[in-house]
Amino acid sequence: MKKILFIVDDLGKGGAEKITLDLAYTLAKNDNLVTLAVLNSSKNTLAVDSSIEYIDLNINPKFAFGKLWKFKELSKKEQETISLLINEKNFDLIILGFHNGYYLGNYLTQKKNVWHWIHGDLLEFRKFNNPLKQIKEHIRFFKNKRKFAKLFKNRNLITVNRDLESKAQTYAQPKSTVTIANGVQVSDDLIAQSPYTEKKWDVIFVGRLVPIKQVDHAIKAFSISNLTGKMAIVGDGTEREKLETLTKELNISDRIDFLGWIDNPHQLMLQSKCLVMCSLYEGSPVTLAEAIALGVPIISYNSSAGIADLFTIDTAKFGLVPKQNIKALSFALEKCVQNPYKYNQECIDKVCMDNMQKRILQLCD
């Protein structure tokens, strides 16, 4: 039995929040004493099981939800709260999560077995056609590199893919690093239903409707394919209105169902012939792991090691396409709907939550 503490910004709608809660629940279910602390609960949407000790640190939203690279400092009262609720306890493992939770490392008296969990690319470098914008991007990247090094130097880091581990080692000089891919827990009943579930959509997208997800690529690929069925888009975000307008411009609005945010989209995924992902970058995407566990074929841009590592040689040739290639994406979607491929056991084992739990517990030793 191990005592484990997770600290995250909140329990909102993102994949990092969901995987943290699922991991915490799995650890608690296996007789570990798990505490989950959020910096501020005002954006919570996920419920915490009673088997997990839950703490709302009630930290100022400017600290809890502010930009990652903006300097943050706790008030005296907030430091007293940390001291009372966390520092007076002793844990076998402390994991500071995405992403302002990293700053609490400076306020913890426990130094042994404290790990910072990096879920995504914190040093994204964007390319612009405008020379002035590109110069500004170089300056921004240089400043953020320095802040990244300061935040993570001599720290223990968990990364969710090989790309992120390599970048952390290059820029931060961490004390130690380990890559642990996200695992998922899907009910056996749902997995058993998979082959017999009636399909309502040819293609489904699940995720936030934000620029980095490039959902417009999925819509365009669906539009130029020879598919005659419908596409479901599960999620919400700043890009929704633009995406709805795009479907009208392409004359396919009657074939695209915008279903909004749904906490558990597994049943909808089962009702789809394939799942599409066309992100500019992903850490270790929970949605893809869930699709593999459910047996739903994936068509995805090969845009990060976190995506590529989910596949085997046999499945990669069907599921991965060159990034930013909408025509290739369209062709792969069409081919997959007409002739769906299946995952081998190696793929399924890669996304198993029990395997992830074992890797996390090894950090306690």
CA dihedral 107, 110, 114, 118 (to 10 degrees): -10
pLDDT tens digit at each of 365 positions of the chain: 999 999 999 999 788 898 999 999 999 999 999 999 999 999 999 999 999 999 999 999 999 998 888 888 999 999 999 999 999 999 999 999 988 999 999 999 999 999 999 998 898 888 888 989 999 999 999 999 999 999 999 999 999 999 999 999 999 999 999 999 899 988 888 888 888 899 999 999 999 999 999 999 999 999 999 999 999 999 999 999 999 999 999 999 999 999 999 988 999 999 999 999 999 988 889 899 999 999 999 999 999 988 999 999 989 999 999 999 999 999 999 999 999 999 999 999 889 999 999 999 999 98
Which amino acid is located at 286 in the chain?
Answer: V
Return the pLDDT at 57. Answer: 97
Return the pLDDT at 124. Answer: 83
Within this chain, do residues 84 and 199 fall inside the same structural domain, yes or no? Answer: no
Within this chain, do residues 67 and 208 fall inside the same structural domain, yes or no? Answer: no
Kindly list the strands in the beta sheet with 114-118, ordered across the sheet, starting from the edge strand earlier in the chain. Answer: 53-56, 33-38, 3-8, 93-96, 114-118, 156-159, 176-179
Return the pLDDT at 127. Answer: 83
Residue 230 burial (CB count, 10 A):
17
Within this chain, do residues 82 and 168 fall inside the same structural domain, yes or no? Answer: yes
CATH number at residue 283: 3.40.50.2000
Within this chain, do residues 193 and 151 fall inside the same structural domain, yes or no? Answer: no
Q: How long, in residues, is the chain?
A: 365
Cβ–Cβ under 8 Å, residues 322 and 199: no
In sequence order, which residues have a C-beta less than 8 Å from that of residue 53 and are 6 or more positions away? 33, 34, 35, 36
Within this chain, do residues 31 and 65 fall inside the same structural domain, yes or no? Answer: yes
- Mapped onto helix, strand or coil, the DSSP state of residue 244 is helix
Return the pLDDT at 128. Answer: 85
d(CA 289, CA 135): 37
Within this chain, do residues 125 and 222 fall inside the same structural domain, yes or no? Answer: no
Cβ–Cβ under 8 Å, residues 152 and 168: yes
Residue with tokens 């906490």: 263
Within this chain, do residues 321 and 216 fall inside the same structural domain, yes or no? Answer: yes
The domain in which residue 289 lies consists of: 188-350
Which amino acid is located at 220 in the chain?
Answer: K
Within this chain, do residues 290 and 357 fall inside the same structural domain, yes or no? Answer: no
Within this chain, do residues 162 and 268 fall inside the same structural domain, yes or no? Answer: no
Residue 124 burial (CB count, 10 A):
13
Return the pLDDT at 117. Answer: 97
Within this chain, do residues 344 and 214 fall inside the same structural domain, yes or no? Answer: yes
Within this chain, do residues 199 and 326 fall inside the same structural domain, yes or no? Answer: yes
Within this chain, do residues 346 and 215 fall inside the same structural domain, yes or no? Answer: yes
Count of structural domains, the chain: 2
Return the pLDDT at 13. Answer: 78
